[in-house]
Amino acid sequence: MQQLFRILKTPIASAFLASLLVFLCVMILRYMGSLESFELAAYDGCVALQPKISPARSRIVLVGITENDIRRQGKWPLSDAVIADLLNALSKQNPRAIGMDIFRDLSVPPGREDLDSTLVDNPNIIAVMKFGEGGIPGPPVLKNTEQLGFNDLLVDPGGIVRRGLLFLDDGETSAQAFALRLALLYLQKEGIMPRADDSHPEYLRLGPQTVRPFEAEDGPYVHADARGYQFLLDFKEDLNLFPLFSLTDLMNGKIDPGVVTDKIVIVGTVAQDAKDFFYTPYSKRLDADQNIPGIAIHAHVISQLLRWAFGESAPIITANKTMEGVWIFLFFCGAFWGVPWDFWCETHGDSRSLPQPVRVFCGWVPISLFFRDSGSPWFPPQWAGSVQPSLSQPTFPIRKKNNGLPSCKSSPCMSPRALPR
């Protein structure tokens, strides 16, 4: 027993026990949800740092109704006749799909008959609705058809959109997302149809990719609302990828027909007064545009679905709780590797200590091996968190006092005051 006490009093054993205590504290904070806001911020940072996709030709075109368009028309909301003329002008340019992100549950005269006729005669037009009790129905003429999709967006605390929706079900009725219906219309011409995964029939499969539904504890989330069929958005497209034209440009024939032909066109408002703007993981950066219109969010969702279907990218895979524990433990081990160096410096009278950046690198070595197939080091498809592993890396510089007795000082991150509450 005395020998055990002597071992525990050694600097290495003390450092190990202190590191283990920090590891356990971090795990407890993680499962209590105390670190969720920090993890979400880290997730946003990874999204912002990832390489952007800028293909030579965008598959999606946006037609935005601006403040100038509203002034020209002299009223808001726009009349049914104006919407019908807009949709007919687009249909003449032969797009694969047209998304009308404008609620039209109630008539806005004049022109209701013209609008109904346009919607019925063009099955590639998808209108929007709000799902569930207290929602907003779509145009009555499209009731119980496949030309309706909900445009509900999932907004996290802080107003940031990080997740997309494919299906919603309230136990009585189910509905497909506006973005999903547009993507499937585009893929029909490519011969790509949605199907059930072979191993998990409850999962959706698009092309070579299986889309696993988001769960309440996935990634940086703790006890999240996982109702419906959700997935994590990667926002890989450049913010200026989708061409944007105004209603006036379209009606005056200023849009080259080749820009719209064989594309997905989304029509909606981009006027600030309409308040259809949302924050994204990019919004915390110092860029001028801190939010983007709803039609751009739908465009990002559609583009991500198309990339999956064509095998150009894969869904973000989140680690389960066991893998997250291993991830954090490997960081803990990387931090502890520096203790023998500190002890050697102490016994040889060297005042140097292993720098913290070196300890962080040591923590990344086993992690990079463990997740060696993850992909980009900035934004791996395997998301397993980053804040709590960093908190599990205390430093233990060992020094000699003037009286020659060893002194072990812990880093500020060892103080309970420094841990997020």
In sequence order, the 6+-apart residues with CB closer than 8 A to the CB of 318 are 218, 219, 232, 382, 383, 384
**160-214 confidence digits (pLDDT tens):** 999 999 999 988 889 999 999 999 999 999 999 999 999 999 999 999 999 999 9
Q: Which of 5-9, 179-183, 322-326, 391-395: highest mean pLDDT?
A: 179-183
pLDDT value of position 45? 83
**32-47 confidence digits (pLDDT tens):** 877 888 888 888 888 8
**2-11 confidence digits (pLDDT tens):** 777 776 667 6
CB atoms within 10 A of CB 103: 16
Instruction: Using a cut of 0.85, tell me whether the model's pTM lies above it.
Output: no
Q: For residue 197, which of 206, 186, 187, 185 has the smallest C-alpha distance? A: 206
- Residue 356: burial class (beta carbons within 10 Å; 0-12, 13-18, 19+): middle
* CA–CA separation, 362 and 44 (whole Å): 25
Tokens matching residue 354? 């292993």
Sign for the pseudo-dihedral over CA of 57, 58, 63, 67 = negative
pLDDT value of position 343? 56
How many Cα neighbours within 13 Å face the side chain of 78? Answer: 30
Residue 151 three-state SS: coil
pLDDT value of position 335? 59
Q: What is the DSSP letter of 106?
A: S
* CA–CA separation, 272 and 283 (whole Å): 16
Would you place residue 418 in the very low, low, confident or very high pLDDT band (cuts 50, 70, 90)? very low
Residue 168, beta-bridge partner list: 175
**70-88 confidence digits (pLDDT tens):** 999 999 999 999 999 999 9
* CA–CA separation, 27 and 389 (whole Å): 9
Q: Is 407's pLDDT higher than 90? A: no
Contact between 197 and 203 under an 8 Å Cβ cutoff? The reply is yes
Question: Hunting for tokens 């140097």 — which residue is that?
Answer: 352
* CA–CA separation, 257 and 150 (whole Å): 29
The helix (H) or strand (E) run that includes residue 230 is strand 229-232
* CA–CA separation, 176 and 185 (whole Å): 13
User: For the residues 283-306, what does the mean pLDDT come to?
Assistant: 84
Concatenating the DSSP letter of every residue in 366-399 gives HHHHHTTTS--SSS-SEE--SHHHHHT-----EE
